[in-house]
Amino acid sequence: MDISILEKQLREMNNYEKKYSGTPEQPKHYSHMDESELTFSPDQQAPNIVPTDYFFKLDQNVVFLKHPRYVKFTEHRHSFIEMNYVYSGSCTQYIGGKEVTLNEGDLCLLDTNVTHAIDSASENDIIINIMIRTSYFDSALLQRLSGNDLLTDFFVNSIYQRKKNSRYILFSKGQDHRLKDLIRQALWEYSHPQLCSVEAINSYMLLIFTELLRMYRKKIFQRTNSGNVF
């Protein structure tokens, strides 16, 4: 992996951004999809559901996409699981009406059908969206995650829709840079496919989930020792 090439690609305006993005002074707004195209209507009431096939090819279970800058998305929902990782800068979302700000190194794991809106990202705000089919979490993967009760419960409930409220989990970076390294490696395999890249991505995803659990448990341990209660 050549980090300098990856950095250059992330900071350049890609084709998706060239098509949909506005400017720092006048970001574009999007509210829903119309025949597979993003569009905006001030009359849109119910949160739009983004279909899986908008991002995923038939043989894909995981998709990596740089979030387009200079774009403001109104409330919408996904039929897939999404992770938003802040590679640099920050990201402000409104999840179920609650303002949530992520800073560099933070990650938000969003359940299916969670209503959320996203503020416009500026030039230095590089957000990596990792989108995952619910079918990706089959029995084999869940077994490999066994012992990771937090994530196993989250994914099982996502698959079988055993929840009443919108769910999301926030992971704060702290001093750990391992998550960024793992996401870089997975993103490189995705954007520069070669022999066994699918298997490599699957392995990196398992490592990413494991690292997230360690971050979460470390946070609980620190809060418990400081006397704070969730």
pLDDT for the residue numbered 144: 66
- φ and ψ at residue 48, rounded to 5 degrees: -70, 140
> What is the pLDDT at residue 201?
94
Of 53 and 186, the structure prediction assigns the larger pLDDT to: 186
Question: What pLDDT band is residue 97 in, cutting at 50, 70 and 90?
Answer: confident
Whether 209 shows a pLDDT value over 90: the answer reads no
What would the DSSP string read from start to end of 169-186? EEE--TT--HHHHHHHHH
Range of weakest confidence among 58-62, 103-107, 214-218: 214-218
Lowest average pLDDT, out of 47-56, 161-170, 182-191, goes to 161-170
63/144: higher pLDDT: 63
The percentage of residues in the chain with a pLDDT greater than 70, rounded to a whole number, is: 73
Give the pLDDT score at 67.
93
Is 80 exceeded by the pLDDT of residue 161?
no
Residue among 66, 102, 68 nearest 187 (CA): 66
Give the per-residue pLDDT at 77: 85
Between 68-72, 129-133, 148-152, the lowest mean confidence (pLDDT) is in 148-152
Domains of the chain, by residue range, sit at: 3-223
Q: Which CATH class is domain 3-223?
A: mainly beta
Tell me, what's the pLDDT at 123? Answer: 93
**Higher-scoring residue by pLDDT: 94, 221:** 94
Q: What's the pLDDT at 215?
A: 78
Measured between alpha carbons, how far is residue 123 from residues 70, 71, 127, 191 in Å?
Answer: 8, 11, 11, 21
Name the band, by pLDDT with cuts 50, 70 and 90, for residue 165: low
Greatest distance between any 2 Cα atoms in the chain: 53
Q: What is the share, in percent, of the chain residues with pLDDT greater than 90?
A: 38
54-78 pLDDT, tens per residue?
788 888 899 999 999 999 888 888 8
Residue 151 in this model has a pLDDT that exceeds 70: no
Contact 47, 115 (CB under 8 A): yes
Q: Does the structure show a pLDDT above 60 at 163?
A: no
